[in-house]
A and B are shown apart, each in its own frame.
Chain A
Amino acid sequence: MSTVTVEASHLTRIYGGREAVSDVSFNLNKGEVLGFLGPNGAGKSTTMKMITGNLAPSAGSIKICGIDMIENPKEAKALIGYLPETPPLYRELTVDEYLAVAARLHGVKGAQVKKSIERAKERCGLTEMSKRLIENLSKGYQQRVGIAQAIIHNPMVVILDEPTVGLDPIQIRDIRALIKELGGEHSVILSTHILPEVEMVCDHVQIIHLGKLVFSGGIDVLKQQRRGNRLLVGLNNPPAAEALLAIEGVAAVEQVSPGLLRVRYNEGQSPAEALVHAAVSNGWGLHQINHDQTSLEDVFVQLTYQEAAEQAS
């Protein structure tokens, strides 16, 4: 019994001669949450459409729990719950009616339909909206209905394309908690622009740029990338740069703003303690010392840029 739920190998999709996605391969295990990152038009949605069988790949194959999506689409699709970019909602139906349609279409048997609707509504916080027309719900609630629709048949793999778009901060928190919870028993693939979200909910991250996978690995690797060897030091009476460079381990000093310096140090030689000592004894007026973390955005830009630079050379 293998635990691999999604197996994509060498996925390629050509749109009018241009490769929208080229040679993307990855595996996803049961219970993992995979984050899909990438700038607009990078091929995230195209990849997701291919995994869910909405789009036929030009080359490559997709296996869901060992079932080939191209050869046995029905069996494979039964294992997937999918929320596309725009939630596919029938606005003229009520939440209950819509979810009943979704459950039946996904092969939930008659007696189970009611139960699965209740469960999905509860998980997505929709219990009070049962009898409301989807048309009259706010964008955030519509998004929730979209998620409820994707998990109604308790699929092995849940694929969410930008699930937190248009939600308010509290709803975003709820949805993230829900995604984490789903990750326990299902596999989740989610795409997003919001980088901290990835850090919060995902176990694995893939960054896709211009249709190519530029980064694939655990979230820890990405976190490590953020830690540069830099300190942010706030001094009220900053001394000359030479005085700072004299401290052991300090490699470079640059001024960020008056009274705020960025100190680079050599790998493994954090000068934090020495700096504090020096500041106290020389009366530099230390008021802040901190790790200067690269924002996730910067790492993202770095990774996507790197690839572009490599291609150019």
Chain B
Amino acid sequence: MVHVSATPVLALRGVSKRFGAVQALTDVELEVHAGEVVALVGDNGAGKSTLVKTIAGVHPIDDGVIEWDGRAVQINKPHDAQNLGIATVYQDLALCDNIDVVGNLYLGRELRKFGILDEVEMERRSRELLSTLSIRIPSVRIPIASLSGGQRQTVAIARSMLGEPKLVILDEPTAALGVEQTAQVLDLVERLRERGHAVILISHNMADVKAVADKVAVLRLGRNNGVFDVKTTSQEEIISAITGATENAVTRRAARNAEAQK
């Protein structure tokens, strides 16, 4: 059903990031392929947001390599990430409440004809985009203020799709949503995958992760703590990787014994 390419769209190799005395990320590895949803999970302070911001160009990395389509790239500014084809939807959606859906979708990149806003073309394309993503909203000509939280989230995601990005990063897209709205957003995530986009999904909600993700990458205290295949892994295993419950007397002895044997 889902075609996964051989070369990852984005690969992080041994990425580290320090803020002063705080080592936020240590030797983090991550691979995302086209048509694949990778859930990034971890406890609070595990480094999820920092990792996403390094990819989005907000915080340049200190060590390691970021590979894009198999070749090493530098991402130092948000602009670099955008040029590569990385779109990020942050938790606070950054939409203008007083402007209608079309205006928000095209904010900062309005279509113009002879210097005048081409409202007709923008509205036509907005409708097209929203219907290919099967996004249902009352009208593209009502202010964002009239939309529900889930509808706003879908508009924000649709907005990120306008530049035809290869990789979409969604930061907690369902955090503040009700059951039905969460379902809408998860549907949308699946549609992004079907259209061949690579998706990184940050979430605290294991049910959401199990529902849409292909792989789960766990971060713990700024390090990788395992990448799991969603289908073959139980929720308990993932949660123990998040909380560090795998680390107990038995595992420590096993690790020591393994080292001693070398």
Are A and B physically bound partners? no
